[in-house]
Chain A
């Protein structure tokens, strides 16, 4: 029957014309169903009519179908029970009142009520109607529609309940809430108003966040730190949660203070630990000096000067001794032997005094190194030659614990200077070297080797590693090494490595340990940036800074050392 099946418009054809042409019916058939019937079928509306001229209430088949009956949808004029029988008793007065108002011409008839279905349950139905009046205003009939709106009503009620809950939450929430329309209009809850902040002037568009902002409070004077988190609502609006984080900020500041104090305490504890070692070493040195001075004293006490006294006495009492050639020869021999003996004794005294001097020099170096390490100073960033720092670390470590019997090696593969707080770096390296020296001394079956090596790595960083062939570290201990208070030494207190790790963080670096296991040595690796990033306002230039830049660095937790 169709001449064309496709409805693609020709260039000069509108889409509607194309559709009509494509589906043109050429055979002699005509539609049978009324357009109203088809339209009502499309929207699932039942029809009803109240005929005052025949005192009759009738409904369409679709009306009954909406109520659960199975009928031919084109049938009409079906006699139906009184409307009263199907409207819920509680809703009946309202329905009839609305109908009366409409028949009086006062209001359109449009009510939603509970209607009984064939299955015995009530469903929410919308009843609409339009009356026809005679010229004198007498209603002749009223006809209308029936629509099952149960789902819509349920959704509306859920929406209302949801809105109520949302409103309660919005009004009663202890934190600030802001609803932001797409137009930028904002609604603020009472809690936000109580905070005293006004968002509109300060923040053009609230961020998704979470972000921390410090917002001024015009009426309170002091600004308020807040955390703002935004989330999109399903209707396109944004809900922002604004939380007063004063307590959190204060707690963070307290934590930072505690952390700083902990770092200081750890540093001091580490220094005390080191000082103990220094004192021990100093004691050894002084013992050595004491022994030398004692020996010198003993030699001095044994000087054979008494022989010279006896020669003089002999010459006074026997003046003719020089006339006797034999006796003179004996005297000369005695004097020669005495001179020789005295020279030997003098050399011995000189040797011991020199030993005392050398030892005292060593003691002075130890004291000097300890004084240098113990300075209570602020962080000073300066450019230092890496090999010089490595050498100084060894010198200080040797002063603290001695390195006799240990192969102490240094390898420096880093060319450029390192921009760093030298004293903090020294503290870390010295601590690691002392640990390594102690670790190799605990192994008797082989000679101890401790190597301090500096190597460049990518990204403007370098690694300073302390490698030893000492007692090694068990895998389960690797992760705990840097914990405050954790130690594997009988006399240790667990401050050293903790402080070193914290200090590494202060330097913008990190510290971790590697070991193949117990008895297989260990390597502690300190990775540092070659240059500390400059902050705004600090001096820059190609030349080394003449005056060291003093920085107060916020203490941050160091990176967790990797475990294996």
Chain B
């Protein structure tokens, strides 16, 4: 069981992701953009973050930049319709741990979250090193 923060401006998508992860026993919390997510990170610890790229307010890439400045950096799985190689490379360079294209396959999402959650726990108390 991992604590997962879901960041997406679409409430229905957040719901679908939360449902898929809840089935696997994960605990989820939701934020509608990067700024709200940073506030959530101030309030609680998370093991994995699932984050959209294009959002009003603070988008996914800017969120990665803001996260890099923090001491606690849970692994981030980017979940997006975007497939531009340059955007994917930038996200990877800024510390993204995975990039999954919407529409997602629930089992693949659960596997990825499991994998990232385990890696996060192995790294110690939700702490990951920036690449």
Contacts and interface: CB of A to CB of B under 8 A. Distances in A.
Interface of A: 101, 104-108, 110, 133, 135-137
* Most B CB within 10 A of own CB, among A104, A107, A110, A136: A107
A106 B107 contact: no
A110 B85 CA distance: 7
Q: Which of A106, A108, A135 has the most CB of B within 10 A?
A: A106
Interface string B94-131: 00011111000101111110010000000000000000
Contacts of A107: 88, 92, 98-99
B88 A110 contact: yes
Nearest to B110: A137
A429 B110 CA distance: 105
B96 to A, nearest CB: 9
Nearest to B82: A108
Contacts of B110: 137
A136 B83 CA distance: 24
Contact of B109 (A105, A108, A110): A105
Contact of A137 (B85, B97, B101, B108): B108
B105 A137 contact: yes
A429 to B, nearest CB: 79
A107 B89 CA distance: 11
Contacts of A136: 107
Given A110-B85, A110-B88, A104 B115 contact: yes
Please provide the 8 A-B residue pairs with the shortest distance between their CB atoms, ordered closest to farther: A105-B108, A137-B107, A106-B98, A107-B99, A137-B111, A137-B108, A110-B85, A105-B112
Interface residues of B, number: 17
Contact of A106 (B83, B85, B100, B105): B100
Given A107-B99, A108-B99, A108-B101, A135 B115 contact: no
Contacts of A137: 105, 107-108, 110-111
A105 B100 contact: yes
B88 A108 contact: yes
B101 A106 contact: no
Most chain B beta carbons < 10 A, residue from A101, A104, A105, A110: A105
14 contacts: A105-B105, A105-B109, A105-B111, A106-B99, A106-B100, A106-B112, A107-B92, A107-B98, A108-B99, A135-B107, A136-B107, A137-B108, A137-B110, A137-B111
Given A135-B107, A137-B107, A106 B115 contact: yes
Which of B88, B99, B108 has the most chain A CB atoms inside 10 A of its CB? B108
Interface in B60-76: none
Given A104-B111, A106-B97, A110-B88, 4 more contacts: A106-B98, A107-B88, A133-B107, A137-B107
B37 to A, nearest CB: 21
A133 B101 CA distance: 14
A252 B105 CA distance: 77
A45 to B, nearest CB: 15
A137 B24 CA distance: 14
A108 B100 CA distance: 7
A9 B128 CA distance: 62
B50 to A, nearest CB: 13
Contacts of B108: 105, 133, 137
B66 to A, nearest CB: 22
A363 B97 CA distance: 109
A366 B91 CA distance: 97
A104 B111 CA distance: 8
Contacts of B111: 104-105, 137
B86 to A, nearest CB: 11
A62 B33 CA distance: 44
A133 B88 contact: no
Nearest to B100: A105
Contacts of B101: 108
A363 B101 CA distance: 112
